[in-house]
Amino acid sequence: MDWRRFGFIALIIAILFSVMVLIGRVQTSPIVIVTSMMATTIAVATPLTLGALSGIFCERAGVVNIGIEGMMLAAAFFGWLASIYLNHVYKFAPLPSLIGGVVAAVLTGGLFALLHALLSVTFKVDQIIGGTVINILAVGITGFLNRQLFFEEGSIFGGDVPHAPGTLPRIAIPILADFPVVGRIFDQQPITFAAILLVMVTHFVLFYTRWGLRTRAVGEHPRAADTVGISVERVRYMNVVIGGLMAGLGGAYFTLESVSSFEPLMTNGRGFISLAAMIFGNWTPFGAWAAALIFGAAQALQINMQFFREVIPPQLAILQISYVVGLAPYILTMIILTGIVGKTVPPAADGQPYEK
Amino acid sequence: MQLDNESRGMFWRSVLSAVRAALRAMLIPLLAVFTAMLTGGVVIALAGGNPIAAYVGLFQGAFGSARALSETAVWSTPYIFAGLAVSLTFRGGLFNIGAEGQLAFGAVAAAWVGYALPEVLGLSLPPIVHLPLAIGAGIVVGAIWAAIPGALKAYTGGHEVINTIMMNYISLNLVSYLLNGPMKDPDPLNVIARTPLIDESARIPPIVEPLRIHWGFPLAFLIACLVWWLLWRTTLGFEIRTVGTNIEAARYAGIRVKRILVLTMALSGALAGLAGAIEVTGLNYRHELGFSIGYGFDAIAIALLGKTHPLGVVLAALLFGAMRNGATRMQFLTQIPVDIISVIQGLILLFVAADRIVRYLYRIRVAEERVVLTRGWGG
């Protein structure tokens, strides 16, 4: 990750923030708008950050994973389902139910990742097809169970979706969160904090531990790694599953942290966008996080703009059409992939099955 | 002239060996389908349903009556086009996950020509002009929409997998804007995002009233033959397949690789757009939001199940059409949600892709062939 690219990211985020300030300054002071934007940006970037970390673990070990979207969707559903079961059937209090839900989501991600590892490492299936299998299966299973369990006659909850135990509570960081106005940024929900922490952990693991060195060796030159006695299969399995756990945590964000309900297809392409964040971040944790923040900022703009619908100045009238801002992350992804803003270098053995 | 016994024998032997080769090619896909249905049955049973009743309902719904057969054909039609679209890119070494978006835009374009063009031009068009115009618009718009990621791949290296997915979301947003805004059906009773009905002159007639099966179904077979002809009997097809097999060799042989990459995507998009246009002109007579969702991934499964061969794609599309159609009756009879079909389709893809599982389960020793598409993300 070079500084030029971080500069570009900062510029884009600054532009998105300025647009918001321009729109909202009639009603609210810029400082309040900027802090609110920052807080929202960090929060909505969470699943993208975790998805990108998931991709980094897989691809640094040489396994392309386009199944992150499916892993997140499945994790969102099963995490939510677990929290409802714990709360309603086993009569746990809301908070333990939610924590149980997060655990279930993380494990769901890991389980789907195990399938991906089985397909791509053991069976040497084309990795993009393997990921597609996961995406289709996740859509099917979540859609099927959602209807079978909640909406059909004679379903367990009597054709009615029971109340979910809410969302994870906010945690305010002592001292930092006590600052007036800007304190809001340090008052977030747990998965958001976890994602930021995991960015640092991943950076450390990848670049400062023996495990990270082995992972990168397997992703860059599996034969050389094999020659010095590293088990390519084992390293790939482990990394894909770790990636799955991350994607699972990202999935938990949707149904346990952001809102307390599940809708079919609710991940809405975020898993794919996190791959773009990973690529734009050049397969580094901090780079991917920064890229995730761009998408987060675009989404934060879309969310915050709804409060100022009435006061959008006529020069920016085009923003009235929420679709225009809604398109930004997708178009941005495509622009980034062209390499206009700097070439990216994937791990050399990315996507190639290893044959002894 | 009379054939002597020996040459007649040779003729039959060659027919027999061709049939045997075809059966051998179909063995793994058939076993994959069988295994997936079996696994799907386990899922149904685990979720508290009766798998046998479910499959009986599925079969009845798909083949039980003339109407069921007609509906299966109706369901299969877009699957054939979309499956061909995806398989064409596989042959060219590309992965088009964007059939869904291309299909949606093809449908929107065909619908617009169908309901608005005569008004805009201020004259009434005869069916012989109007219908081809509507279908043509779908083809062209689909082709352009797919050519964008094709060009990005060829000239900037931006990976078509991510780009086609992004364009799916862009098209979903744009189409939902169009159908909720400028193209919304102005009927005061209408509350959903859909276009007005297209003119009579832009509609494909049904084959036998009152069944819904229309001439788009035989057209799909014709197009499948055309794709086969294109791939194996034309220079362009040869170039597409060469680029797909070995891009370096193709470049060395003097094939203009970039041009072929864009063309392959455009042709694929044209087929997907055609799928959308045929749905509008032959079946729904309008485009409705949400109608196109899921086609992209289904098409990938169909292309792979059909081993990316036009004949295989047609068979796979018929199977998927039958399942989707039969699922409605299955849900009606047994309360098992239609979504189980997506699970089964995912499993089919799983077993087709990981054919080693199938080989192991049934102890098959036919030579393996492997599809390799992944080429990293193109830095």
Q: Which residues of A275-284 are buried (b: 16+ CB within 10 A; e: fewer)?
A: bbbbbbbbbb
Cβ-based contacts of A270 with chain B (< 8 Å):
none
A130 dihedral zone (left: phi>0; alpha: psi -120 to 50; beta): alpha
Question: Is B370 exposed, middle or buried (CB count within 10 Å of its CB: 0-12, 13-18, 19+)?
Answer: exposed
Q: Is A137 on the interface with B (CB under 8 A)?
A: yes
Q: What is the C-alpha to C-alpha distance for residues A194 and A172, in angstroms, rounded to an integer? A: 13
Q: What is the C-alpha to C-alpha distance for residues A253 and A54, in angstroms, rounded to an integer? A: 14
Assigned domain for A349 exists: no
Q: What is the DSSP letter of A256?
A: I
Maximum average pLDDT range among A30-44, A189-203, B156-170: A189-203
Cβ-based contacts of B370 with chain A (< 8 Å):
124, 126
| pLDDT attached to residue A158 | 63
Residue A97: pLDDT band by 50, 70, 90 thresholds? very high
Q: What is the DSSP letter of A187?
A: E
Arithmetic mean of pLDDT, A25-35: 84
Domain hosting residue B214, numbered range: 77-311
Arithmetic mean of pLDDT, A288-312: 83
Q: What is the pTM of this model?
A: 0.90
Minimal CA separation from B160 to chain A, in Å: 10
Q: What is the C-alpha to C-alpha distance for residues B377 and A127, in angstroms, rounded to an integer? A: 12
Arithmetic mean of pLDDT, A123-134: 89
Minimal CA separation from B354 to chain A, in Å: 6
| pLDDT attached to residue B24 | 80
Q: Considering only alpha carbons, which residue of chain B is nearest residue A328?
A: B170
- Is A322's pLDDT higher than 80? no
Assigned domain for B374 exists: no
| pLDDT attached to residue B2 | 56
| pLDDT attached to residue A346 | 83
| pLDDT attached to residue A318 | 60
The tally of domains found in chain A comes to 1
Q: What is the C-alpha to C-alpha distance for residues B144 and B148, in angstroms, rounded to an integer? A: 7
Assigned domain for B335 exists: no
Amino acid (1-letter code) at residue B16: L
Alpha-carbon radius of gyration of chain A: 21
Arithmetic mean of pLDDT, A14-36: 85
CB contact under 8 A, B95 and A128: yes
Q: What is the C-alpha to C-alpha distance for residues B201 and B156, in angstroms, rounded to an integer? A: 43
Residue A108: pLDDT band by 50, 70, 90 thresholds? very high
Cβ-Cβ contacts under 8 Å between A and B: the total is: 160
B360 dihedral zone (left: phi>0; alpha: psi -120 to 50; beta): alpha
| pLDDT attached to residue B378 | 46
Length of chain A equals 356
Q: Is A268 on the interface with B (CB under 8 A)?
A: yes
Minimal CA separation from B245 to chain A, in Å: 15
Arithmetic mean of pLDDT, A331-353: 81
Alpha-carbon radius of gyration of chain B: 22
Minimal CA separation from A170 to chain B, in Å: 31
Asked if residue B320 lies in contact with residue B97, where contact means CB atoms within 8 angstroms, the answer is no
CA dihedral over B70, B71, B72, B74, signed as positive or negative: positive
Minimal Cβ distance to B337: which of A148, A275, A337: A148
Residue A326: pLDDT band by 50, 70, 90 thresholds? confident
| pLDDT attached to residue A313 | 67
Minimal Cβ distance to B345: which of A140, A330, A343: A140
Nearest to A112 by CA among B346, B358, B374: B346
User: Tens digit of pLDDT per residue, chain B (379 long)?
Assistant: 555 677 778 888 888 888 888 888 888 899 999 999 999 999 999 888 899 999 999 999 999 999 999 999 999 999 999 999 999 999 999 999 999 999 999 999 999 999 999 989 888 889 999 999 999 999 999 999 999 999 999 998 888 888 998 899 899 889 988 998 888 888 888 888 899 999 999 999 889 888 999 999 999 999 999 999 999 999 999 999 999 988 999 999 999 999 999 999 999 999 999 999 999 999 999 999 877 777 888 899 899 999 899 999 999 999 999 999 999 999 898 888 888 998 999 999 999 888 888 888 888 776 666 555 555 554 3
Cβ-based contacts of A132 with chain B (< 8 Å):
97, 297, 300, 349
CB contact under 8 A, B341 and A66: no
Length of chain B equals 379
Q: What is the C-alpha to C-alpha distance for residues B139 and B131, in angstroms, rounded to an integer? A: 12
CB contact under 8 A, A339 and B347: no
Q: What is the C-alpha to C-alpha distance for residues B1 and B23, in angstroms, rounded to an integer? A: 33
Percentage of chain A surpassing pLDDT 90?
51
Residue in the structure block whose two tokens are 């398109």? A327
| pLDDT attached to residue A187 | 86
Maximum average pLDDT range among A170-184, A199-213, A311-325, B340-354: A199-213
CB contact under 8 A, A344 and B166: no
Q: What is the C-alpha to C-alpha distance for residues B275 and B78, in angstroms, rounded to an integer? A: 5
Which residues partner with B194 through β-bridges? B288
Average pLDDT, chain A: 88
Asked if residue A16 lies in contact with residue A297, where contact means CB atoms within 8 angstroms, the answer is yes
Residue in the structure block whose two tokens are 């389902």? A81
For chain B, the three-class secondary structure string (H helix, E strand, C coil) is CCCCHHHHHHHHHHHHHHHHHHHHHHHHHHHHHHHHHHHHHHHHHHCCCCHHHHHHHHHHHHHCCHHHHHHHHHHHHHHHHHHHHHHHHHHCCCCCCCHHHHHHHHHHHHHHHHHCHHHHHCCCCCHHHHHHHHHHHHHHHHHHHHHHHHHHHHHHCCCHHHHHHHHHHHHHHHHHHHHHCCCCCCCCCCCCCECCCCCHHHCCCECCCCCCCECHHHHHHHHHHHHHHHHHHCHHHHHHHHHHHCHHHHHHCCCCHHHHHHHHHHHHHHHHHHHHHHHHHHHHCCCECCCCCCHHHHHHHHHHHCCCCHHHHHHHHHHHHHHHHHHHHHHHHHCCCCCHHHHHHHHHHHHHHCHHHHHHHHCCCCCCCCCCCCECECC
The tally of domains found in chain B comes to 1
Cβ-based contacts of A327 with chain B (< 8 Å):
170, 173-174
Cα atoms found within 13 Å of the Cα of residue B120, Cβ hemisphere only: 6
Assigned domain for A317 exists: no
Residue A154: pLDDT band by 50, 70, 90 thresholds? low
Domain hosting residue A50, numbered range: 45-152+188-280
Question: Is B213 exposed, middle or buried (CB count within 10 Å of its CB: 0-12, 13-18, 19+)?
Answer: buried
Of the candidate ranges A91-95, A192-196, A319-323, B34-38, the one whose mean pLDDT is the lowest = A319-323
Residue in the structure block whose two tokens are 């064409």? B88
Assigned domain for A307 exists: no
CB contact under 8 A, B353 and A133: yes
CB contact under 8 A, B342 and A125: no
Amino acid (1-letter code) at residue B91: R
Q: Considering only alpha carbons, which residue of chain A is nearest residue B165?
A: A272
Minimal Cβ distance to B337: which of A144, A154, A352: A144
- With residue A50 as reference, give the H or E element that holds it: helix A46-60
Minimal CA separation from B301 to chain A, in Å: 8
CB contact under 8 A, A140 and B343: yes
pLDDT in tens, B163-203: 998 899 899 889 988 998 888 888 888 888 899 999 999 99
pLDDT higher at A337 or A17 = A17
Asked if residue B195 lies in contact with residue B179, where contact means CB atoms within 8 angstroms, the answer is yes
ipTM: 0.86
Q: How far is CA A206 from CA A193, A219, A257, A281, A286, in A?
A: 20, 12, 28, 14, 12
Residue in the structure block whose two tokens are 């970039």? B258
Please report the residues numbered 278 through 337 in chain A whose beta carbons come closer than 8 angstroms to any beta carbon of chain B.
Answer: 279, 321, 323, 326-327, 330-331, 333-334, 337
